[in-house]
């Protein structure tokens, strides 16, 4: 199911493999380097990045809204009990984004960084490799209550999980 989540898209962006080939050719290698470094220190970060990508995609589509911080009077998805304090790997995304901003300012979306990081984690942890189309747009909205409305609860059985994924347009 994870592979299908990687291809969910936000807004009207047209996704394509090699999206950054001309605008930021080193984008995927920069992200892979950050992921490999973090996973070498702590393999649990790889699973954390995959989970973060899932939580992001299941709420508003793959728009990096999970990365947005709360503002006064507006707690973000990060604050929801399904995400806080258990989501891990924010520092990996921050490191990759900082490097990419120094190389290719304002070119690579956080949504794509998260999608590539999840893919690179799957490869580093289990030799699972797949192409990730890119070109996602970053979201500007993140609401604390939305994970409750979208993420499957931990107590769902297999049929309930299958139904939940089907509502998102995914199949088993």
User: Which residues are catalytic, by number?
Assistant: 55
Contact 50, 118 (CB under 8 A): yes
* Residue 98 CA to its chain's centroid (Å): 17
Distance CA(56)–CA(107), nearest Å, equals 20
Residue-wise burial string across 86-105, b where 16 or more C-beta atoms lie within 10 A, e elsewhere: ebbbeebbebbbebbeeebe
């Amino acid at each position: 199911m994870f592979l299908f989540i990687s291809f969910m898209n936000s807004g009207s962006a047209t996704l394509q493999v090699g999206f950054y080939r001309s605008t930021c050719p080193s984008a995927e290698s920069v992200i892979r380097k950050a992921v490999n470094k973090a996973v070498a220190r702590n393999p649990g970060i790889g699973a954390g990045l995959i989970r973060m990508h899932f939580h992001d995609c299941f709420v508003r589509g793959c728009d990096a809204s999970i990365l947005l911080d709360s503002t006064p009077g507006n707690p973000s998805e990060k604050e929801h009990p399904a995400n806080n304090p258990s989501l891990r790997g924010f520092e990996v995304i921050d490191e990759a984004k900082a490097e990419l901003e120094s190389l290719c300012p304002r070119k690579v979306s956080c949504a794509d960084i998260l999608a590539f990081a999840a893919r690179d984690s799957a490869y580093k942890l289990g030799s699972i490799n797949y192409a990730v189309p890119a070109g996602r747009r970053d979201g500007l909205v993140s609401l604390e209550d939305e994970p409750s409305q979208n993420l499957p609860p931990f107590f769902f059985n297999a049929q309930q999980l299958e139904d939940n994924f089907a509502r998102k347009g995914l199949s088993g």
